[in-house]
Structure 1
Amino acid sequence: MRKYLTLTHALLKNVSLFSDGKSNKIKMIGLYGLIALCFLPTLFLFYIMFDTSIQALSILHLESTVLYLGFFIISILIFLFSIFLIPSIFYFSKDLDTLLVLPLPPQTILAGKFTTCILYEYAFTIIVSIPLLSAYVSNLHPGIFFYLMALVVLLLLPIYPLVLSSILTMLMMRFVPFFKNRDRFNIIGGFFVIVLAMAFSYFMNSPMMMDEQSNLFTTILTDPDSLVLKLGTWLFPAISFASHALSNTNILHLLVFIAISILSFLIFLLLGKFLYFKGAIGFSETTSTRKRFTSSEMEKLNKQQGKTFAYTKKELKLLFRTPVYFINCISPVILFPILYIIFYFSSSSQISLSILQQLDMSFIKPYLPVIGIGIGFLFSNINCISSTSISREGQNVAFMKYIPVSLKEQIQGKVNSGILISFLTALCSILPLFFIFPLHAMDMLIVIVCSLPSLLFGNYLGILLDMAHPKLVWEQEAAAVKQNFTAMIPMFGGMLILAPLGFLFYYLPNTFLLPVSIIILLALCAGTIVFYRKMDKIANHFFKKL
């Protein structure tokens, strides 16, 4: 136990939840508080969904069904997202070589890393459980024992789905050598999740599923137990006992839930004793092609180019060649058109499309500039390229100070890569609207041109925030993008700015729409120009602190 506690403490320090190694904890907590505000709309939507369901089902004393649905959502989210988190922490982290040579049994290492993983999964638990329990309490007013039991349930709820994904990962790493390569695992796994999400979306919009959804509420009312079984009791048996324990304040069901969670964890440690070391030893992180270059190819490669252009190419190659960056930063360019195609050919959208294509869209013409501005803000940092460009350097950020390229040229190269991918993503999202709505080519051109100032400004703002607060302490590339909370500020900020922007232009008279749009566009252009001219001074100011 002492070794486990010491190892867990060391691993949690590397997680850096409240510090990146340079900033104080108060600033980091304030930053996380700001990010929490961005999730309020999502929490509100969950609350409305659970509140409506409880009001409808409490009359028939089926409150446990709503609790079950909430716990099932939490469990499935944890299971899916931990499939990528587990390999990163269990097998691909930089501390693995150090831990393997220490006199530690595999159970101790696994228990420490499991504790680290479970802290990440509490985020999904909180996002769903807060609106779920708030709706339950506001409608049913349970006693004090409910709160104590709910606390126990929420603390133990992530264990079982995390154990399932951990065992699945250990089996793959032990018996399927194909997945031991980190790049191969991330690429195949990432595209598998994308394909799975698209297949699920298409299935949910199929005629068969639409007919099934129309009878869903009737099924809940007539036979709730069958619904519980359909939703996955066989996969997550513990959540059925947890929901009944809270709805009926049943101590016996709570004890069964606790027993299942603890037993699953013990089975995980027992399997890890025989699987973990054999799967962790001898894997390769990346591959090397060992390509031979001819003299003409070497001459072409050594041909001198502009420093900013060369640095932009370097950034783009890094984004395309690193699987984590490709999946998180580049794949939206591919994903958005595919989603449009799925929507366009899905049977449920055919009626909506036929109605939209018959609409008179002349009323929207005064709003085209502001639509372009909103699209630019939305896509400027949705790929997190500019807002993580300094963080992705990690511990190698010191080389940016010493290489014979000015900070201004390096920063501009990083911004250029973000601008290019952002523009392609926006373009791939705007052009399909030409086929969905009866718009003219000039209308689309206005939207595209008006999106450029906000797109440029958003990318410069993203890299400015990353220079001010980079996440440089990480063990694998995924942390620089997925676990970089600084990058979430411009990403969610670009989404949130659409609301006040739409509210402002909705209440403006049509005669003021164009002048106000021009003022906003000029302000964005001025802000971009100021940042570009002062980039060297700003970069030197922040890099002195790194």
Structure 2
Amino acid sequence: MKRLASLVRVGLRSNFGLSLLRYRVFQQKKDLWLVPVMGLAVFGVGSLLYGYLSLIKGFYGILKAMGQEQAIPGFVLLMGQFLILIFGLYYVISAFYFSRDLEMLIPLPLKPSEVLLSKFTVILVNEYLTMAPLVLPMLISFGALSQAGWGYWINGLAVYLLLPVIPLCLVSVLTIGLMRVVNLGRKKDVLIIVGSLVLIVLGFGFQVMVSRSMNADPDPQALAKMFASPDSILNRIGRNFPPSIWAAKALAGGFSRSGLLNLALFAAVSAACFGVILVLARKLFYGGLIGVGEISGRKKPLTAREMSQKISSGRRPVKAVFLREWRVMNRTPIFLINGILTAFIIPLIFVIMATMGDRGGDGAFILRALTSGGSPATSILTAAAFMMVCGCLNGTSSSTFSREGKQFWMSRVIPVSPREQVRAKFYHSYLVTLLGIATSLAVLLVGLKLKPLYCLAGLGLALVGAVGLTAVGMTIDLARPLLEWTNPQKAIKQNLNVVFGMLADMGLLALVGYILFRLSAAGVRPAGLVLIALAALAVLSWLSWRFLMSLSERRYQEIEV
């Protein structure tokens, strides 16, 4: 137990690095630029939090009148577990099989279960942070609205701590089995990516199944019968994944017999899943590690002419650096899954939301209402914001330099100026952003049936605004790149620069949205609002680009590897 505790403590310190950040900001005074960035982020997060809490309050009033208010925690807890099921896959694959510290841990006198459980605990802590923005506001606001007693709050803490365990165990079981099979072949990277895609598709398929089950029996008699029964909506939401029902009833029941029984059932199933992980750790974990670091080279030798073409291709520097970025991203499964695939996953989540409810429209009713109702300006601006969010929230730009890790010294010595390198990296990050924008555009056109003219206008705004948001993310990562990481996952998902970049993007969009809202209230015409938004995004993009270029020359000389 002492060895396991030591492993967990070391893993958490390596994972977050908050002590180093505190030292650099308050002692060395080096990262003071984070203060205004955090201020901007607080503004953006505050705006989103206000809207989320208002939504919960509105739904509570409606469902309370029907005696179905428990459906709120049931749905949010189910969504929290679904997010963990999808995004926890990245953490598990990286931490279990691509962490560089495994080379040091395996020779030590440690049991496979101790190594795996230490990493599982670190992942668990990360998932508490992942689901916090979704689950914690609901727990607090629902408890306040229902005037819950001590039983609710204590059970709420227990439910929050247990919530990620079951989905993480499911992902871990599938990952351990996948890696045990993958290492039997030579094309491990391809198999890992394909296997990850299969797991993601299964997760989305499960969510679609849940949403379809909520839409069954639409006739009036069935609806009347459903609403007459207490907790019928809750049972309907979670009948394909009962742990969400147990968690919601544990919250509602408090210290009553029903609440304690559901909490005990939730805890028992979580413990059983945890026990399965222990068994697999002893039998399969180290077996899946065999051959992970091997690289299968090409058997065909290069001729002198082919070698000459390889080393003197005559490519322009910007094109050469761009291709290097693209190949590194595609050849590293964790970078590919977290970067490029996330650009597709975020819009797909909205597709699933759009399939919920009667005839597939009520789950995303807010986005649908903003894009299809009201003035054309509202539809265009909302569509543009949606495309920018889906395009820029993949962490590619704000991990551009961190992904190089200790190999950054190569970028300092190659005969390419820092400006040209940064320009090539920008093109790569912007291309990934375009993938997210294109996918979200398809969602707006096909899923939400937005008018093509509105989509085209929103696309123009999104393309301009994405330049600034991409440059902001790259600037944050260039200012404090995370080059010391033990596994590729840390360069993206466990990189505070990615968090700062996302928060800064949300803050900038919220600030522009607030300005447009005030101008609309002052009587500015819809066409004027769109033109003002275009001008504001263009100025933001120009300033961000110029600052990034001016920063590149100085930072490339200052960064130490």
TM-score > 0.5 by shorter chain: yes
**CA 1:256 to 1:336, structure 2 compared with 1: closer, same or farther past 3 Å?**
closer
Correspondence list, 1:406-445, <5 A: 406-423=417-434, 426=437
**Displacement, 1:412?**
1.9
For 1:283, what is the secondary structure of its paired residue? coil
2:333 is the counterpart of 1:323: yes
2:94 is the counterpart of 1:78: no
Q: Which amino acid aligns with 1:300?
A: Q
Q: Is the 8 A contact 2:401 2:478 kept in 1?
A: yes
For residue 114 of structure 2, the aligned residue among 105, 108, 112 is: 108
Determine which structure has more spread, i.e. the larger CA radius of gyration. 1
Q: Distance in 2 between matches of 1:143 and 1:366?
A: 42
Q: Is the 8 A contact 1:64 1:243 kept in 2?
A: yes
**Displacement, 1:106?**
2.1
Deviations 1:415-467 (A, max 9, x none): 12223444565467669989977667xx9988766666544333333221111
Q: Distance in 1 between matches of 2:243 and 2:345?
A: 34
Deviations 1:358-387 (A, max 9, x none): x999x859998x899868965773443332
**CA 1:516 to 1:158, structure 2 compared with 1: closer, same or farther past 3 Å?**
closer
Q: Which moved more, 1:316-325 or 1:20-29?
A: 20-29
Equivalenced residue count is 533
**Displacement, 1:245?**
6.0
Correspondence list, 1:234-273, <5 A: 235-237=241-243, 240=246, 243-244=249-250, 246-250=252-256, 252-253=260-261, 254-273=263-282
Counterpart of 1:2? 2
Q: Is the 8 A contact 2:334 2:488 kept in 1?
A: yes
**CA 1:447 to 1:317, structure 2 compared with 1: closer, same or farther past 3 Å?**
same
Counterpart of 1:165? 171
**Displacement, 1:469?**
2.4
Q: Which amino acid aligns with 2:283?
A: F
2:94 is the counterpart of 1:88: yes
**CA 1:429 to 1:144, structure 2 compared with 1: closer, same or farther past 3 Å?**
closer
Q: Is the 8 A contact 1:241 1:256 kept in 2?
A: no
2:519 is the counterpart of 1:508: no
2:471 is the counterpart of 1:457: no
Q: Which amino acid aligns with 2:547?
A: F
Q: Distance in 2 between matches of 1:446 and 1:145?
A: 52
Q: Is the 8 A contact 1:172 1:179 kept in 2?
A: no
Q: Distance in 1 between matches of 2:168 and 2:442?
A: 41
For 2:132, what is the secondary structure of its paired residue? helix
**Displacement, 1:117?**
1.3
Deviations 1:241-277 (A, max 9, x none): 6623652423642445444444543443244223323
Q: Which moved more, 1:407-416 or 1:70-79?
A: 70-79
Q: Which amino acid aligns with 1:221?
A: F
**CA 1:183 to 1:2, structure 2 compared with 1: closer, same or farther past 3 Å?**
same
Q: Which amino acid aligns with 1:489?
A: L
Q: Is the 8 A contact 2:45 2:507 kept in 1?
A: no
Counterpart of 1:353? none
Q: Which amino acid aligns with 1:508?
A: V
Q: Distance in 2 between matches of 1:65 and 1:335?
A: 26
Gaps of 5+ in 1: 351-355
Counterpart of 2:316? 306
Q: Is the 8 A contact 1:330 1:383 kept in 2?
A: yes
Q: Distance in 2 between matches of 1:402 and 1:305?
A: 18
Q: Is the 8 A contact 2:178 2:195 kept in 1?
A: no
**CA 1:2 to 1:179, structure 2 compared with 1: closer, same or farther past 3 Å?**
farther
Q: Is the 8 A contact 2:339 2:395 kept in 1?
A: yes
Percent sequence identity is 24
Q: Which amino acid aligns with 1:460?
A: A
For 2:339, what is the secondary structure of its paired residue? helix
Q: TM-score, normalised by structure 2?
A: 0.75
Q: Which amino acid aligns with 2:255?
A: T
**CA 1:489 to 1:182, structure 2 compared with 1: closer, same or farther past 3 Å?**
farther
Q: Which amino acid aligns with 2:145?
A: N
Q: Distance in 1 between matches of 2:169 and 2:441?
A: 42
**CA 1:171 to 1:396, structure 2 compared with 1: closer, same or farther past 3 Å?**
same
**CA 1:220 to 1:392, structure 2 compared with 1: closer, same or farther past 3 Å?**
farther
2:490 is the counterpart of 1:479: yes
Counterpart of 1:527? 543
**CA 1:36 to 1:172, structure 2 compared with 1: closer, same or farther past 3 Å?**
farther
**CA 1:96 to 1:224, structure 2 compared with 1: closer, same or farther past 3 Å?**
farther
2:540 is the counterpart of 1:539: no
Q: Distance in 2 between matches of 1:84 and 1:137?
A: 32
Q: Which amino acid aligns with 1:87?
A: I
